Amino acid sequence: MLKKFLKYHLPVVLWAFIIFKFSSGVVPQVSSLYWPNFAFMKSAHAFFFGIFAILLYRSLRSEGISGKKAAIWAVIATMLYGASDELHQFFTQGREARLRDIGFDTIGGMIAVFVVYKLGLFKHE
């Protein structure tokens, strides 16, 4: 039981904590131009939440949930965590909450889970 928690469920919690910590800090600028910053930050949203969705999918599959259901729930949970992240940023000095970021979080999760699902990964976990 503990071994399963450490292997499958703890990574989800730790990754959520990493996202929370990144959301608590000041956003670094990668360029003095708007578009490179925008592209970098939105790509980061998609990447971080894509990893989160994969970890969730893996965790759900480890509980015997079918691939399709695990994929759907992983994307829904990723969207909800993205929304809670934006709510957190609303109350964080130096940060802004944006609805579009929830969209980038969800798109990142959808793409990541789609790829993992189509590749048939985590079938036997």
Q: Tell me, what's the pLDDT at 15?
A: 98
Of 80, 86, 102, nearest to 22 by C-alpha is 86
pTM of the predicted protein model: 0.93
Residue 32 pLDDT grade (very low, low, confident, very high; cuts 50, 70, 90)? confident
* In the predicted structure, residue 96 carries a pLDDT above the cut 90: no
Residue 47 pLDDT grade (very low, low, confident, very high; cuts 50, 70, 90)? very high
Q: What is the 3-state secondary structure (H, E, C) of 33-61?
A: CHHHHHHHHHHHHHHHHHHHHHHHHHHHH
Q: Tell me, what's the pLDDT at 94?
A: 84
